[in-house]
Structure 1
Amino acid sequence: MTAVSDQESNGSAFAGYDLIGDVHGCGDSLVELIEKLGYSKRNGSYEYSNQRQPRQLVFLGDILDRGPKIRESIHIIREMVDRGSAQIVMGNHEYNALGYTTLAPEGSGKDYLREHNANHTRLIQETLDQFANHPQDWRDTLAWLYEWPLFLEFEAFRVIHACWDQPLIDQFKQHRPDGTIDKDFLIASEDFRVFEGRFMSRATRGASLLLPDNLSMTGKDGYTRRTFRVKFWVENPACYGDVQFQPDPLDQALAERRLSDMEKTYIPYYPHNQRPLFIGHYWQTGTPKPLVDNIACLDYSAVKNGRLMAYRMNNEQTLRADNFVWVRGQETLVL
């Protein structure tokens, strides 16, 4: 795989693209969706069946963790990427896997970059278990993750796992013009006070605001949080309710609370006149549709008996609800 973020030079090689959201080890659903989109296996790897009008798959990250066929999913996708029939960007679960398996620098006060506490271990345990009898395969997979770019830019659209923040991306390109990270960047990114940490958090996890006055809220998933995810496609928001996104609705008093100037500065904005953007990460529900005319989220909780979601991109600049394609997901082994 050539991890190049700017694909404009070769964008004309394909008649269209099919973008797939968070797989999370739903290997059977992955095969079903790929075949539903018109790809078939040839010489051991999937490629688009109509060679006169070839298409390419683009995966939005989060292939690892939770589902029953993580290793199989990685192999299917890697074969396609190596063949040139797919591209992929890194998600937060791949970023987490690198941190979980990388020793921390001496004197840092911890053994690994991502501490092996109960919550972190629970999230990655299914992946570790499924690779347990294949240690070389796991080492190869971890090395391959460093080849995954954090974002892709095509002539007609863009792709990132969680949030497109143009100033941070411009700065990242100066450091890493191929769009990937290396071990030194990974180690530096553990500090959210520096650029590396801010960029990786924004690109793979999105933007969140801290609840005011030391407040916290317990979501439907049982987790207690002191932050909430915010929309990055709202122009000139005035209050929390304008940008509140996930995990659960704010109560009316909080929703009406005015955003401070600092909070407004912190929240990125993806303008409506920019080329379409595809993201995953945010586990949508209900009838699939774009978030706004030029942004579509393709994470529909496949690993929680939701949908493994795709979008058939034909270079349109206004995204269409009828271009979403999906299959049934699979039950998660670990929430």
Structure 2
Amino acid sequence: MSELDPGRGYDLIGDVHGCAHTLDRLLEQMGYRLQGGVWRHPRRQALFLGDLVDRGPRIREALHRVHDMVTAGEALCIMGNHEFNLLGWATPAAPGSGRQYVREHTPRHARLIQETLDQFEQHPGDWRDFLAWFQDLPLFLDAGRFRMVHACWDGELIEALREQFPDGRIDEAFLQASAEHGSFAYQACNRLLRGTDMRLPKGLTLTSSDGYTRAFFRTKFWEEDREPETYGDIVFQPDALPDEVASERLSAEQKSSLLSYGADQPLLFVGHYWRRGTPAPIRPNLACLDYSAVMYGKLVAYRLDQETRLQRDKFVWVDVKRPEEDQ
């Protein structure tokens, strides 16, 4: 895997989810050109936030594009929760664990990755190669003045993880250990790749826009200008909480459990959260670049140069076309 080239500008790109033709359009819009089968830019390097796979119509093609860029030194890519899910699905569990695979082959888990499995069914060699590549993807990237993680930057967990894996690339034993609920490996992978959440009150469940019923909702992992008081103050997901839940007050214990990525921390880029609307910073040092591309939203990039605070005019995007227009 190539490394950051400090002599170049960086184009950070959100969740592709198999929208290969849309990725081509975005790269071309940013001045990349196909040379020798690889998208290249003379002065810039692409940085992908993970979730290249699942849901979309051209998953293999998207993976080949990004992998070829990484191999040629034109890009870097970190792991998303969907690459992690595929690894877990394909990796045998640790002996004595009582399970067959790291990620059990349940109907729910199969549904999440079915598009990827189907598209690789006739390409077993590619499947093996990409699984090996996924295992080599780091869980985070820390460039000093900016950081990348798929869902959530938890400084304490990342520092502990660095003691074992300085560059954030976990091994198969750590992946196997992540299957044990409550283990350090489970906590690290779940927090960095899926973010923070909180249980809905009074045993409630909600069915989200992607069709899954959940007892938890995703929460903010950064501090606001004022202390949060209600569930509605901390929700961070496309599906709103019902009014009666949003207005319910947080307990002191719940408030103390919230994570806080401070406003004085380096620039942080995440994907994962299915945002909508016009791309813009969440805060001067925090941007989410996942704008629901695979749901006919936008595939978004941020063109980072030497700035230390995010600029609204540095976001670029393409609108994802409907199937009849060719994704």
TM-score (norm 2): 0.93
Distance 1:27 1:108 in 2: 38
Distance 2:223 2:167 in 1: 30
Match of 1:265 in 2: 256
How far the C-alpha of 1:130 sits from its partner, in A, is 1.3
Query: After TM superposition, what 4+ stretches of structure 1 lie above 6 angstroms from structure 2?
Result: none
Identity value in percent = 50
Q: Return the match for 1:34 from 13, 27, 30.
A: 27
Match of 1:102 in 2: 91
Which deviates more, 238-247 or 161-170?
Answer: 238-247
Distance 1:183 1:219 in 2: 32
Match of 1:21 in 2: 14
1:212 aligns with 2:201: yes
Distance 1:177 1:331 in 2: 42
Structure 2 unpaired stretches of 5+: none
How far the C-alpha of 1:126 sits from its partner, in A, is 1.3
Distance 2:47 2:208 in 1: 32
Match of 1:237 in 2: 228
Structure 1 unpaired stretches of 5+: none
1:275 aligns with 2:266: yes
The CA RMSD over aligned residues, in Å, is: 1.9
Distance 2:322 2:181 in 1: 34
How far the C-alpha of 1:114 sits from its partner, in A, is 1.1
1:111 aligns with 2:130: no
> Could you report, residue by residue, the CA deviation over 1:104-156 in whole angstroms, capped at 9, with x for unpaired residues?
23443332221111121111111112111111111011001111111111243
1:233 aligns to what SS in structure 2?
coil
One-letter code of the match for 1:13?
G
2:39 aligns to what SS in structure 1?
strand
TM-score (norm 1): 0.91
Is 1:157–1:315's contact at 8 Å kept on the other side of the alignment?
A: no
* Aligned pairs, number: 322
1:315 aligns to what SS in structure 2?
coil
Q: Within 5 Å, which residues of 2 pair with 1:133-172?
A: 133-172=122-161
Match of 1:86 in 2: 75
Is 1:149–1:178's contact at 8 Å kept on the other side of the alignment?
A: yes
How far the C-alpha of 1:192 sits from its partner, in A, is 2.9
1:174 aligns with 2:168: no
> Could you report, residue by residue, the CA deviation over 1:18-64 in whole angstroms, capped at 9, with x for unpaired residues?
0110000101001111111111122331110xx3xx11100000001
Is 1:27–1:69's contact at 8 Å kept on the other side of the alignment?
A: yes
